[in-house]
Each structure stands twice: as C-alpha cells, then as structure tokens.
C-alpha cells in the first residue's frame, strides 16, 4: 500500500512558542488513522501544516504523493477537510454553502450532497446563522465528503454530534474507505479510535509517538494526558 500522507521531520514554532518538533508520520492508503493527544499537543498544528494554512519551519509533507506546498491546489482537490469548529458565512443558506463549496471545486456534487444531507438529516433551507453547533458540523461533513475525495482529514469531527449522527458519520467514513479513500481522524475520544481506526499515533508536547495498535486501554491512554499535565 502506498503512503497517502508522508510527513518527514516536520518542525513548526510560533515565535518562541513550541508548535511541533521533528514529527514524522506515514498514513497508508485505505487506513483510518487515529491521531490522538491532549489539547495543545500539536495535532492541529500538524493538520494545519498539511493543509497549507501554516508555513512550517523545516521538514517535508507529501500528500497523495505530491508536495504539500508546491502542489497544494491539486492536493486540495482530492482532500475533504473538516475543521474542529465549523464556521460558514452566516448570511448564506445551507444549500448555498454546499453548492458554493462544490462550485469552487468545479465539480457537480448534487447527487452526493443530496444523499449526504438525507443521511445526516441536514435541513438545507435554513440559514447558517440559525444552525446549532452540531448542525453546523453536519454541514461541514457534507462539504468535506460531497466531492468524494481520496483523503479525509477530520479535526475532532464528532464534537457536538448526537450519538445517532456520530454513528452515521462513521458509517459514511467506512463506506468511503471501502471504496478506496483514506482518513486521518484527530480526536480525544479513545473509543472512536479503538472502534474505527486501523492504526494510530499520539502527540504530546509537540512530539509524535506511533502506537503499536489502536487498541489501547483507558489507563494507558490517560497516562499520556496525566504526564502532560504534570510536565505543565
């Protein structure tokens, strides 16, 4: 299996503050990769560097075999991203946001968007400003999935979703992965990693440790958090 994500020695700092230090990571095609770690450990910095939102100091990132800086546009055409907090243009309707995302990508996603909205029970007639946090997340899922990307990058996707929606969300991920997609899932929820991920890594204090297996128990998992708090 080819590597869909290949990060080598990624370092990013914010002035004097630590971001991530010497992070290396590989995610294979067809994987659902769990990306764990306490708040401020560097998960979002890693993801945001992959997405090109941050300009990293050193190292390299290859996504779908392409350079994350030089080939950013080509990469983004094949990536579905969901940020930890879903924000859209308040004055737009849900249907307009979904269509706008598809239009910018230059693809006709109407059928897939309709299917996703039905599965996730998204009311497309409402204005964004009328939506709850969870419903905005659902719109974000539709925008990330409607173009059937090769790679999904989800940053804490299930926060705000009710249990039924969480189940639908993971069912959708599994369906796309079965069709050849790959998924990187940043989360705090250990059960999600145990249940759905095929491999996992944990970040702490800006450094990454690969886990032998995503099936780790609560005590082992919490140890990472406790050690971080003690160090802090």
Partner 1 sequence: MKKIFLKELKMNLKTLLIWSLSVGGIGLACILLYSSMEGEIKEMADAFSNMGTFSDAFGMSTLSIATIKGYFATEVGAVHGLGGSMFAAMIAASMLSKEEELHTGEFIYSMPVSRKRIVFAKALCISVMVFSFTVICSILYACGFVALGEELPVQEFVTYMGMQFLMDMEIAAVCFGISAASSKTKTGSALGCALMCYAYDVIGRVVPDVKEYLFIGPFSYSNASEIFSGADMCTKGIIVGIVITTLSVLFAFWYYDKRDLAS
Of 121 and 129, the one with the shorter C-beta distance to partner 1 is: 129
Q: Which of residues 40-59 bind partner 1 (CB under 8 A)?
A: 44, 48, 51-55
Applying CB under 8 A, does 68 fall inside the site for partner 1?
no
Of 14 and 230, the one with the shorter C-beta distance to partner 1 is: 14
Give the SS3 label for residue 226: helix
Name which of 152, 144, 227 is nearest 187 in CA terms.
152
Give the SS3 label for residue 84: coil
Structure tokens at 211: 């886990």
Applying CB under 8 A, does 73 fall inside the site for partner 1?
yes
Phi then psi dihedrals of residue 82, to 5 deg: -130, 115
Interface pick for partner 1 out of 18, 105, 188, 198 (rule CB under 8 A): 105
Of 92 and 189, the one with the shorter C-beta distance to partner 1 is: 92
Quick check: 84 and 156 in contact, CB under 8 A?
yes
Report the nearest approach of partner 1 to the CB of residue 147 (Å). Answer: 10
- Residue where the block lists tokens 């006709």: 108
For 72, other C-beta atoms within 10 Å of its C-beta total: 15
Quick check: 128 and 159 in contact, CB under 8 A?
no
Contact range with partner 1 by CB under 8 A, out of 29-37, 97-105, 169-177, 180-188: 97-105
Applying CB under 8 A, does 89 fall inside the site for partner 1?
yes
Please give the residue ranges that form the binding site for partner 1 (CB under 8 A): 14, 44, 48, 51-55, 72-77, 79, 81, 83-91, 100-101, 103-105, 140, 143
């Amino acid at each position: 299996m080819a590597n869909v994500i290949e990060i080598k020695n990624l370092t990013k700092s914010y002035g004097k503050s630590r971001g991530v230090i010497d992070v290396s990571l590989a995610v294979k095609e067809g994987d659902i990769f769990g990306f764990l770690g306490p708040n401020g450990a560097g998960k979002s910095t890693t993801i945001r560097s992959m997405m090109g939102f941050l300009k990293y100091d050193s190292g390299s990132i290859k996504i779908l075999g392409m350079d994350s800086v030089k080939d950013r546009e080509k990469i983004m055409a094949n990536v579905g991203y969901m940020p930890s907090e879903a924000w859209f243009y308040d004055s737009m309707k849900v249907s307009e946001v979904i269509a706008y995302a598809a239009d910018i990508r230059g693809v006709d996603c109407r059928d897939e968007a309709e299917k996703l909205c039905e599965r996730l029970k998204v009311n497309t007639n409402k204005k964004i400003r009328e939506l709850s946090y969870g419903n905005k997340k659902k719109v974000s899922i539709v925008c990330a999935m409607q173009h059937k990307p090769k790679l999904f990058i989800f940053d804490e996707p299930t926060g705000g979703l009710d249990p039924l929606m969480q189940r639908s969300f993971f069912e959708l991920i599994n369906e796309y992965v079965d069709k050849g997609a790959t998924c990187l899932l940043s989360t705090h929820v250990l059960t999600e990693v145990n249940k759905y991920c095929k491999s996992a890594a944990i970040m702490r204090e800006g450094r990454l440790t690969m886990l032998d297996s995503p099936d780790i128990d609560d005590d082992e998992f919490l140890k990472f958090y406790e050690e971080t708090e003690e160090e802090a």
